[in-house]
Chain A
């Protein structure tokens, strides 16, 4: 495995912690004073009704949004906001709610794009495409082929992703994120729009990534069954505020959570 860029975090210790994060767009408060942490090696679910601020939270973590207040501590370094490049550089990968692939490129090229930060040979060698650069391309290609085998998408390698059905696009997107060999993998509704069989496949992949590669995973998901099966701990957001933070079983019985999902008589 690659050497961590910053101080090493042992399994079970806190890998990422957000403290008192507040984010507003004009008058809309997307996140209000939200704090929680993600421990190394766990699967952490973020759930909540529509508009609860779940995706905003992921966007804060990987630097697409800059919160107005609060801090983010990742691998022991505390900052007021993340930058997308910095997040990617330090091992945070993600997928998107509405699949964000490079549509004109093949599945293979999409996944290779995930290796961008891992390619280190200089411009000169890259231009010539000989010697070290060619060797490097080959090495990365090998890693990518492993991921392709793992996710069982060998058959669609050379297909431009714009032509693939939705379920497979989601899988290519996961492959691209895995190609970054992330320490923290953010999955935004990895099973949205999938049928039962596809959901089962995806659940299996997520668990295997977590177990075999030891990748820490934070995922947003609406399917409660999936959340209960996959996750170690659950954060519940509602209207931008945290209303619960516990194990799946505890969250299921939490009155605040039940009220948020089912509505409450005022």
Chain B
């Protein structure tokens, strides 16, 4: 029983790492421009498609490099054609613009790369690792891909945390998020800052897309899985990088544990079917957070002078 609990917990935590990777892209853009980028999920799909299709004609490292170039070009295009024209507009207008970008990217990705299910082979052995075989019967199963994801995620987080700690850059990013016009007036180059954060979250999307893609196959549903990042954000706080990580881990572990532990209880005591908990657990948790701690675990306190 304990063995099963730990195995579920670890599996959940590793899935949570993937949620965290997607949430990280959201946080980056929100922190640096105040834009809630609904297109992050579509960017993950687009990046995954690019890597998968390019890897068919060239070695994987080259495909990744090309995908990075594509995501940077995409960031430039988004800045040039959309954001630049919406400086000083309300947050909701920018949000609507990212909704547009979402559907464009989902469709355009299929126009270029096709709409079948593609495979990404990361070259990680499929066989899981078994730990503590002498302690628990059967040991604890560890998925190598999820382990790799966790490592990649940890590296990305470390790099980004350092990036935001940089005093001048960090302050400039927060300034842009608070007030476009005032930021311009003190000489912060808005377009350049936007280009950087969209490019960086494009690269984060590649990492997320490759790992999801290798687990599930590259397909349309990836952009839906990315919606799981929303409860993660609410839990962790929209502006917090550590929040995105911790939120991802809590949601990932929480929903798996709820499925395995809560499900049988519902079946036995209330005679319910007991399935599907994994699908709604994250959102209910997010709702509870919205009611009691709307800024999330690590978010900046919301200050409003009335």
Contact = CB atoms under 8 A, between A and B. Distances in A.
Given A116-B186, A127-B166, A103 B179 contact: yes
* Chain B at the A interface: SS class: helix
B2 interface: no
A127 B185 contact: no
Given A119-B168, A126-B168, A129-B165, A114 B181 contact: no
Interface stretch (A7-15, A88-96, A193-201): A88-96
Contacts of B184: 63-64, 84-85, 88
A88 B179 contact: no
A100 B304 contact: no
A205 interface: no
Interface stretch (A29-37, A69-77, A105-113, A147-155): A105-113
A178 B152 CA distance: 44
Interface range for B: 20 to 34
Contacts of B305: 162-164
A137 interface: yes
A105 B186 CA distance: 15
A4 interface: no
Contacts of B304: 162
Interface centre among A100, A101, A114, A129 (most CB of B within 10 A): A100
B188 interface: yes
B166 A126 contact: yes
Interface residues of A, number: 36
A88 B223 CA distance: 41
Nearest to B303: A162
Interface centre among B163, B169, B179, B186 (most CB of A within 10 A): B186
A133 interface: yes
A100 B185 CA distance: 10
B171 interface: yes
Contacts, number: 93
Contact of B182 (A101, A117, A126): A101
Interface in A127-179: 127, 129, 133, 137, 160, 162-164, 176-177
B175 A103 contact: no
Contacts of A127: 162-163, 165-166
A102 B179 contact: yes
Given A102-B175, A104-B303, A96 B165 contact: no
B160 to A, nearest CB: 12
Interface centre among A85, A88, A113, A126 (most CB of B within 10 A): A113
A176 B179 CA distance: 14
Contact of A101 (B168, B172, B179): B179
Nearest to A112: B171
Interface string B136-168: 000000000000000000000000001101111
A30 B17 CA distance: 54
B116 interface: no
B125 interface: no
B174 A62 contact: no
Contacts of A101: 178-179, 182
Contact of B187 (A64, A133, A163, A180): A180
Contacts of B61: none
A133 B169 CA distance: 12
B189 interface: yes
Contacts of A114: 186
Nearest to A165: B305
Contacts of A88: 184-187
Contacts of A180: 186-187
Given A85-B189, A116-B188, A117-B187, A104 B174 contact: yes
A84 B185 contact: yes
A25 interface: no
Interface of B: 162-163, 165-169, 171-172, 174-175, 177-179, 181-190, 300, 303-305
Given A100-B181, A101-B182, A137-B167, 15 more contacts: A85-B189, A88-B184, A100-B182, A100-B185, A101-B179, A102-B183, A103-B178, A103-B303, A105-B171, A113-B172, A113-B175, A114-B186, A116-B175, A126-B169, A163-B303
22 contacts: A84-B184, A85-B187, A85-B189, A88-B185, A96-B182, A101-B179, A102-B178, A103-B179, A104-B177, A104-B303, A105-B174, A113-B171, A113-B186, A116-B172, A116-B186, A116-B187, A116-B188, A117-B186, A123-B169, A126-B166, A127-B163, A163-B305
